Amino acid sequence: MLKNDIFLRALLKQPVEYTPVWIMRQAGRYLPEYRAIRQKAGSFMSLCKNKTLACEVALQPLQRFNLDAAILFSDILTIPDAMGLGLHFETGEGPIFRYPVRDIKAVRSLEIPDSEDALSYVTDAVSLIKKTLNGSVPLIGFSGSPWTLATYMVEGKSTKEFKLIKGLMYNEPETVHLLLEKLAAAVTDYLNAQIRHGADVVQIFDTWGGILTPEAYREFSLQYMERIIKGLIRQREGREIPVILFTKNSGLWLEAIVKAGATTVGLDWTINMADARRRIGDKVSLQGNMDPCLLYASPTRIRQEVKKILHDFSDGGKIKTGHVFNLGHGVHPGVNPDNVCAMVDAVHEFSQ
């Protein structure tokens, strides 16, 4: 039994006493206690692969803030790593793949990893975090979307231009489709394994879907997320497993996104919450969407913004279910944890 299931109730539009809140990338470098464990682990990937440390790090933000959900500590790039692309993280540069995938031959030779085997360090972390939480709050599992994973696998690193992946998409769409098909199968298996091991909710991070044209978004990103959602375990022990779909920069396409079948649509800060609610709020619940840069402002300014977003989702000031408060993207490494605390407490205070 969960002691605090308000997050699940808000996702499922069941009655709530206040608006629940969690933060994308809530366990990370903005916390000094994270930096200490990260240093002890030696590298980011060895931290992810050590279930005891991964569990400790996942619980750190819950010890500091009054959050309504925990998230698995891992990364979206675990799947390409398990496919043999040789992932490592360079300080200040982000992820690097030693063997990027850039032609049909390389895509054909990719094998879909068995999550219970090649990714058992992730499912082990899920089990341990779930057990350690001891029912205090729900646990979120996650994966990248096929398109977002493909951008890293083709580029071989983070990019601002998307030259290689977009070049390949326009020149050889069938190569990219084969890659996305394999990734959709891998993600479905991976998320189902996380659900079997204890994830109460799963979120698909489509960080780079919003760089596509509207047509390409449907063809190369949304279609595959819809396929994944259809293949997910949606019930466990009599409880529904909600699915959150987050595409950054997707405000123009909300009506299309709803059709993918997720329980909840995650919003970035480029769309107004009242507009989003009016457009799709009768079909799905919404998550978001404070600009992460507000955490660089004062607690007074942060509280003002929290109040505004809550008000935008409400019925003329009366709080409604169907909203989970979050940032519009991950928390930045440079923010002061005290400001995060101000945000979390303001959400609870203003939504009672």
Residues that bind ligand CP3 (CB under 6 A): 24-29, 38, 44, 71, 73, 75-77, 89, 94-95, 142, 158, 205, 207, 330
Of the pair 295, 350, the CB lying nearest ligand CP3 is at 295
What is d(CA 65, CA 188) in angstroms, rounded to the nearest whole number?
A: 32
Residue position matching structure tokens 């464990």? 37
d(CA 86, CA 179): 17
In angstroms, what is the minimal distance from the CB of 40 to ligand CP3? Answer: 12
Distance of alpha carbon 142 from alpha carbon 122, whole angstroms: 11
CA gap 343, 295 in Å, rounded: 8
DSSP state of 239: E
Q: CA–CA separation, 179 vs 51, rounded Å?
A: 30
Out of 5, 30, 34, 38, the active site residue is: 38
Q: Distance (Å, rounded) from C-alpha 326 to C-alpha 290? A: 7
Exposed, middle or buried by CB within 10 Å (0-12, 13-18, 19+), for 99? middle
The question of whether 277 is a catalytic residue gets the answer no
Instruction: Determine which one of 9, 34, 81, 152 is catalytic.
Output: 152
Q: Is 190 a catalytic residue?
A: no
Instruction: Decide if 30 is catalytic.
Output: no
To ligand CP3, the closest distance from the beta carbon of 313 in angstroms equals: 22
**118 contacts 82 by C-beta, under 8 angstroms:** yes
| Residue with smaller CB distance to ligand CP3, 205 or 224 | 205
- Residue 152 catalytic? yes
- The one catalytic residue among 9, 34, 68, 75: 75
Return the number of the residue (261 or 330) whose C-beta is nearest ligand CP3.
330
Closer CB to ligand CP3, 44 or 99, in the complex: 44
State the minimum distance, in angstroms, from the CB of residue 304 to ligand CP3. Answer: 25
Our CB check for ligand CP3 shows the closer of 127 and 321 to be 127
Q: How far is the CB of 207 from ligand CP3 (least distance, A)?
A: 3
Count of CA atoms in the C-beta half-sphere (13 A) of 176: 24
Instruction: State in angstroms the smallest separation of the CB of 315 from ligand CP3.
Output: 31
Is residue 75 part of the annotated active site? The answer reads yes
Structure tokens belonging to residue 173: 């769409």
Catalytic center residues: 25, 29, 38, 75, 152
